[in-house]
Amino acid sequence: MENDSLHILLFGATGTIGRATALACQNAGHRVSIITRHATTATELRGCIHHIGDVTNPDDLARIVGSARFDAVVSCLASRTGTPRDAWAIDHAAHSAILQAALAADIPRFVQLSAICVQKPKLEFQRAKLAFEAELQCAPIRWTIIRPTAFFKSLSGQINRVKSGKPFLVFGDGQLTRCRPISDRDLGQFIAASLTDPATNGQILPIGGPGPAISPMDQVTLMERILGHPIRVKHVPLWFMDTIIWVLSLLGRISPRLADQAHLARIGRYYATESMLVWDPISDTYCADQTPQFGRDTLEGYYIDFVAGKLSDDRGDHAVWS
């Protein structure tokens, strides 16, 4: 293990995983400085040193990155909308600027939160993330890239639908995809642990939560067990989504707003058809066995708390279902 108490500069601290990472780093004994665009009252960030700044402004970055001697940058920063413009501005350009500022300030370590879906890039936000990953890998800095599977919040969007008597929507037979979801807390702890583990230097780390890989129909079974009654399931054919994408793409030629919506529909289709597991190029399949597991929190425990009203819907702009 490396020096155990570090001063971390955390980007994206107000996001779902940013908050969990801030807490995990503080619990691990690190000092955490954060840079956010607004004031925040998030409880996980109370013990942090807070800087307000614009991550797209090099002057703000130079001022904050040079304000102390940091041991590591951790970035959980990500486009909130996933539209191509925002993705290239945040997932790529802002990260490039952060990396340049970190190099100029001689910060020795950079931990980047990415996503497992970049292994099969079909969308602009994935290409933007990959472009930054490539820059980071070439930079004279010790780096780690963490590519998690699905988050619990991304698998909870239909609980309120189902509670209000609406059917659970699945694409095809509901077995097209699988994932090994990971909780915010477990992922935050994984990120914090990577900071002091030299074995993570220069590594791209796919990571999932504990337990078997699950499909959308497995989520239905889980919810039925928790709610104590059968759930209606509505099977949506993929051609229906393809038609929506086709129409929005056509209209998007005259309306930038509809072009963005076409892109968001393409993101929805991607997650309806691609598993969030490690892709094995030899067998040409997604492979649960090759997707590492970490942590203790289960999706079932999360659903129980969600149904009991102990959690709020944290999907924000990532929501696909309502």
Give the shortest CB-261-to-ligand NAP separation in angstroms: 19
Give the shortest CB-76-to-ligand NAP separation in angstroms: 5
Q: How far apart are CA 22 and CA 11, in angstroms?
A: 10
| CB nearer to ligand NAP: pick between 122 and 232 | 122
In contact, 66 and 103? CB cutoff 8 Å: no
Give the shortest CB-132-to-ligand NAP separation in angstroms: 10
Q: How far apart are CA 242 and CA 263, in angstroms?
A: 12
* Paired sense of beta strands 278-280 and 285-287, if any: antiparallel
Give the shortest CB-190-to-ligand NAP separation in angstroms: 12
Q: Which residues bind ligand NAP (CB under 6 A)?
A: 12-18, 36-38, 55, 76-80, 90, 113, 115, 148, 150-151, 154, 316, 318
Give the shortest CB-115-to-ligand NAP separation in angstroms: 3
Burial classification of residue 275, based on how many CB atoms lie within 10 Å of its CB (0-12 exposed, 13-18 middle, 19 or more buried) = buried
Q: How far apart are CA 298 and CA 152, in angstroms?
A: 9
Question: Can you name the residues that pair with 109 across neighbouring β-strands?
Answer: 142
| CB nearer to ligand NAP: pick between 183 and 261 | 183
Give the shortest CB-60-to-ligand NAP separation in angstroms: 10
| CB nearer to ligand NAP: pick between 106 and 204 | 204
Chain residue whose CB lies nearest ligand NAP: 15
Residue 108, CA atoms < 13 Å, CB-side half-sphere: 10
| CB nearer to ligand NAP: pick between 2 and 84 | 84
| CB nearer to ligand NAP: pick between 4 and 274 | 274
Give the shortest CB-223-to-ligand NAP separation in angstroms: 18
Phi, psi of 37 (to 5 degrees): -85, -15
Phi, psi of 166 (to 5 degrees): -80, 160
**DSSP letters spanning 14-28:** TSHHHHHHHHHHHHT
| CB nearer to ligand NAP: pick between 26 and 154 | 154
| CB nearer to ligand NAP: pick between 13 and 107 | 13
Give the shortest CB-276-to-ligand NAP separation in angstroms: 7
Alpha carbon of residue 148 to chain centroid: 7
Report the 10 Å Cβ neighbour count for 14: 18
Q: 10: which 2 tokens?
A: 């955390």
| CB nearer to ligand NAP: pick between 151 and 190 | 151
Question: Can you name the residues that pair with 285 across neighbouring β-strands?
Answer: 280
* Paired sense of beta strands 31-36 and 7-11, if any: parallel
Alpha carbon of residue 181 to chain centroid: 11
